[in-house]
Amino acid sequence: MALFRLPTTTAPALAPRGHGLLLRAPQMPDYPQWSELREISRTFLTPWEPIWPSDDLTRSGFRRRLRRYAEDIAEDRAYPFLVIRESDGALVGGVTLANVRRGIVQAGTLGYWVGQPHAGKGYMTAALRVLLPTLFGELNLHRIEAACIPTNQSSIRVLEKCGFAREGLARRYLCINGVWQDHCLYGLLDEDFRG
Ligand SMILES: CC(C)(COP(=O)(O)OP(=O)(O)OC[C@H]1O[C@@H](n2cnc3c(N)ncnc32)[C@H](O)[C@@H]1OP(=O)(O)O)[C@@H](O)C(=O)NCCC(=O)NCCS
């Protein structure tokens, strides 16, 4: 039955582009730029993310991360993307579609970040607008979810600009920066997106 099938029999290499951005899976040559951007953005990012493992920014930590990503993509569990500015190849941030559920759900959860020097310039809104057609198209999702701490105004604004609807509040939903924190739940359906 078509509804219950995966979109392809092998993992698709997804690399959507638009608005001057390229989104693609991370590779080992990205390590220097990735680790530098994450390091200079540490104070900016850590209040909104799970606690970083102590070796998170090391080369071996990045290699382990890529191995996990490759397994996730092959198993249709998650799709990580770096956001690259096409004009100069600069790494701007990242978006991951995680927790992909098939069968009668056909949904996944978005997480995202930009480096501090790139914040507030419209990059994440543009990146999600580039990615959404791929998620509803090639990945055949019916629903995309995201969750934000209620005080994360910039993240909430990004989701609203991309058409996500606020659907509720989940109490102590995710362990962010070491604390179980309430989250606003957002959702976007394929029919919302296609209009
Ligand atoms: C959330 C995040 C990815 C947004 O990326 P970005 O590229 O800066 O987002 P954009 O520039 O596309 O849009 C940000 C919007 O938030 C608005 N905004 C920023 N700070 C705000 C504040 N304190 N109150 C209200 N709106 C705010 C901006 O004005 C902009 O909206 P506008 O276009 O209507 O003016 C980035 O801030 C980030 O990485 N934060 C840390 C990690 C994080 O929060 N990840 C998400 C966890 S749910």
Q: What CATH code is carried by the domain that includes residue 73?
A: 3.40.630.30
Does residue 146 fall inside a structural domain? no
Q: Which runs of consecutive H residues, i.e. helices, occur in 1-121?
A: 31-40, 42-45, 59-74
Q: Would you state the pLDDT for residue 115? A: 98
Domain of residue 76 covers 2-140
Task: Record the tokens describing residue 185, joined without a space.
Answer: 């739940």
Does residue 131 fall inside a structural domain? yes
**Residue 8 reports pLDDT greater than 50:** no
Does residue 27 fall inside a structural domain? yes
Ligand 1 binding pocket includes 78 (Cβ within 6 Å): no
Does residue 158 fall inside a structural domain? no
Does residue 165 fall inside a structural domain? no
Ligand 1 binding pocket includes 45 (Cβ within 6 Å): yes
Q: Rounded to the nearest whole angstrom, what is the distance from the C-alpha of residue 48 to the centroid of ligand 1?
A: 12
User: What is the tens place of the pLDDT at every residue in 116-154?
Assistant: 999 999 999 999 999 999 999 999 999 999 999 999 999
pTM of the complete model:
0.94
The CA distances from residue 153 to 18, 32, 127, 132, 172, in Å, are 25, 30, 18, 21, 18
Does residue 187 fall inside a structural domain? no
Half-sphere exposure in the Cβ direction for 170 (13 Å, CA): 16
Q: Rounded to the nearest whole angstrom, what is the distance from the C-alpha of residue 51 to the centroid of ligand 1?
A: 20
Does residue 62 fall inside a structural domain? yes
**Residue 186 reports pLDDT greater than 60:** yes
When divided into structural domains, the chain yields a total of 1
Does residue 59 fall inside a structural domain? yes
Q: Rounded to the nearest whole angstrom, what is the distance from the C-alpha of residue 171 to the centroid of ligand 1?
A: 23
One-letter amino acid identity for 172?
A: R
